[in-house]
Amino acid sequence: MIYLTLFWEFFQIGTFAVGGGLAAMPFLFSMADRQPWFTHEMLVDMIAVSEIAPGPIGVKMSTYAGFSAAGVPGALAATMGLIAPGVIMILLLVRVLSKVQENEHVQGAFYGLRPAVTALIAAAALQIAGFTLFTESSFQALPIILLILLILGAKYIKQFSPLVMICTAAVLGIIFRF
């Protein structure tokens, strides 16, 4: 029964989280409230690990949640649930869009999805920032603040490598975590 529940929960996320893994964050926070598989703190850790590992973030998060809930079979059920709507939609859309891709209503619908996706990603960023900055002591939030300053500073320093920013943020996170 847990496998069906995992599949269904992530099938819903895969269906409605248009825009990728970060757009799924509000859905994942809501699922963390409803299900005992993971907490908000685990979700934030899951995001951090998913961002540094290669591959799609949504797949890595669903695999992590499924594994923590029910081991390897749970990971498979959750991951299949997440990717199934995309596969189904692609198969259907290829057939339909090849016939109506020049239609102005279809183009308008895709243009209208952009603000919705932006809002979902912004909501996820605000939830993560609120959880990180306001549930821990300000001393532990210092690496986040320093990372933001690094990112803002990199805009003005053209030769500043993203790899240096990532490594610096990782070291600061490790130092301030303990």
**Residue that the structure tokens 């239609």 belong to:** 103
pLDDT at 3: 93
* CB contact at 8 A, 42 and 68: yes
| 62 and 17 housed in the same domain | yes
Q: Does residue 113 share a domain with residue 60?
A: yes
Judgement on whether residues 40 and 106 belong to the same structural domain of the protein = yes
pLDDT at 160: 64
Query: pTM of this prediction?
Result: 0.56
**Residues 119 and 146 placed together within one structural domain of the fold:** no
Q: Are residues 128 and 141 in the same domain?
A: no
pLDDT number for residue 76: 95
Same domain, 125 and 67: yes
Q: What is the pLDDT of residues 90-99, one digit of tens each?
A: 888 888 777 7
> What's the rounded mean pLDDT across residues 13-17?
85
Q: How far apart are CA 137 and CA 139, in angstroms?
A: 5
> What is the domain range of residue 82?
2-135
Q: Which residue has the higher pLDDT, 100 or 139?
A: 100
Q: How confident is the model over 31-85, as pLDDT tens digits?
A: 888 888 778 888 877 777 777 777 788 888 888 889 988 899 999 999 999 999 9
123 and 150 inside one domain: no
Token duo for residue 142: 């210092």
Domain count, the chain: 2
Regarding whether 52 and 97 lie in a shared domain, the answer is yes
Worst-scoring range by mean pLDDT, 104-108, 159-163, 169-173? Answer: 159-163
The pLDDT value given to residue 89: 86
Q: How many CB atoms lie within 10 A of CB 119?
A: 13
Judgement on whether residues 15 and 73 belong to the same structural domain of the protein: yes
Does residue 102 sit in the same domain as residue 147? Answer: no
Q: What pLDDT is attached to residue 81? A: 94
pLDDT tens-digit readout, 120-161: 777 777 777 776 666 655 555 566 666 666 666 666 665 667
